[in-house]
Structures are given as structure tokens and as C-alpha cells.
């Protein structure tokens, strides 16, 4: 593995697991301007089949994406995707989850409020329940870091204020 931020990657990406994409739309903070972050979580349905949840901030293609050193992000498919879209992959140091604290915090919330409190009878059930949680998280539930307002309301307020950069105003 090369230096932090290098794009030397190897290995397969997401072979054999179902994948559910989860985008915490208009997240209140990101690591550094021009960077986004993503992470994967896994769980299983009632019959034991495993699935993964891809957590990513939905804002188009960033200049760089902060990821951990998991094989999903170090694989050839991820490297090719990043290259095609002009996105630099910034790998955190192994074991240093604090370097991706935004998503580690989000993952904890998703795990506590959804994955550990729901029983998924099948993959479609998991998709529906996780999507319902995502909508609640983005549009209904208040966030302490946003003055106890939901992210959608916060983003709308920022768009109405001249001189604010919307999704980058909170750091």
C-alpha cells in the first residue's frame, strides 16, 4: 500500500454480497473542502444472508473520497471508478477510524437506530426499512449539530441566505 491518498489498490469489490446504497443527503460536515467520505456496513436478514450498506454523501463527484482500507475500497473496480470520474481515493491509516470520524459517527447512529433495532425478513424488507430510516434521518429527525433542525430544513435555510455555500457552511 502506498502513502495516504495514494491510489494503489487491489482486490475484488463486493463479490457475493447484496449491496444497499444509503446516501445521507446534504450531510452537515465533511472532512475537508473538496473531499467526501464513504463507508460500508454489513448486517444480515432473518435467514442468515448477509448484505452491505454503502454510506455516501450524495453531492455528485467530489475531488477526493476518504475511505478506510477495507478490500471493498482497495479493489480494482473502485480504482477504475475513481479514475474514470477524476476522484482521488484518500485512504485513512489502518486502525485510525478517527480519520473518517464523520462516517464513523453516522455508522454508529445507523447501527443503533436501525440495524440493531430492526428484524429484516428478507433483502427487500431491509431495503425498505433502511430507506425509511434514511428519509427520517434526512427530513424529519432533528440534529444537534444543526441547531436541532432536520438536515433538509437546515439545507433549505442555507440556500435562502446570500453568501452561504449550502452544503459546506457547517464544519
Host H or E run for residue 131:
helix 123-135
CB crowding 102-128: b at 16 or more within 10 Å, else e: bbbebbeebeeebbeeeebeeeeebbe
Number of residues that make up the chain: 171
The per-residue pLDDT for 33 is: 53
Domains of the chain by start residue, with CATH: 18-165 (3.30.420)
* Cell numbers linked to 86: 477524476
The per-residue pLDDT for 99 is: 82
The per-residue pLDDT for 117 is: 93
Digit-coded pLDDT (tens) for 60-109: 788 888 888 888 888 898 899 899 999 999 898 888 888 888 788 888 98
Q: Within a 10 A sphere around the Cβ of 98, how many other Cβ atoms? A: 9
- State phi, psi for 56 to the nearest 5 degrees: -150, 140
The per-residue pLDDT for 116 is: 93
The per-residue pLDDT for 21 is: 45
Contacts 24+ apart (CB under 8 A), 126-130: 126/20, 126/43, 126/45, 126/51, 127/20, 130/20, 130/22, 130/53
The per-residue pLDDT for 158 is: 79
The per-residue pLDDT for 157 is: 84
Q: Which residues of the chain have pLDDT under 50?
A: 1-32, 166-171
Q: How far apart are CA 152 and CA 166, in angstroms?
A: 11
Amino acid at each position: 500500500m502506498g502513502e495516504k491518498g495514494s491510489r494503489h489498490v487491489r482486490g475484488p469489490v463486493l463479490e457475493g454480497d447484496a449491496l444497499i446504497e444509503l446516501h445521507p443527503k446534504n450531510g452537515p460536515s465533511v472532512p475537508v473542502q473538496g473531499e467526501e467520505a464513504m463507508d460500508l456496513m454489513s448486517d444480515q436478514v432473518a435467514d442468515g444472508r448477509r448484505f452491505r450498506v454503502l454510506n455516501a454523501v450524495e453531492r455528485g463527484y467530489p475531488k477526493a473520497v476518504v475511505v478506510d482500507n477495507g478490500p471493498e475500497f482497495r479493489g480494482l473496480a473502485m480504482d477504475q471508478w475513481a479514475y474514470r470520474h477524476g476522484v482521488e481515493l484518500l485512504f485513512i491509516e489502518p486502525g485510525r477510524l478517527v480519520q473518517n470520524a464523520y462516517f464513523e459517527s453516522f455508522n454508529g447512529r445507523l447501527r443503533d437506530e436501525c440495524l440493531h433495532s430492526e428484524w429484516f425478513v428478507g433483502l427487500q424488507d431491509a431495503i425498505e426499512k433502511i430507506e425509511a430510516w434514511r428519509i427520517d434521518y434526512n427530513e424529519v429527525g432533528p440534529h444537534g449539530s444543526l441547531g436541532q433542525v432536520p438536515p433538509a430544513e437546515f439545507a433549505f435555510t442555507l440556500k435562502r441566505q446570500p453568501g452561504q455555500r449550502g452544503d459546506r457552511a457547517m464544519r
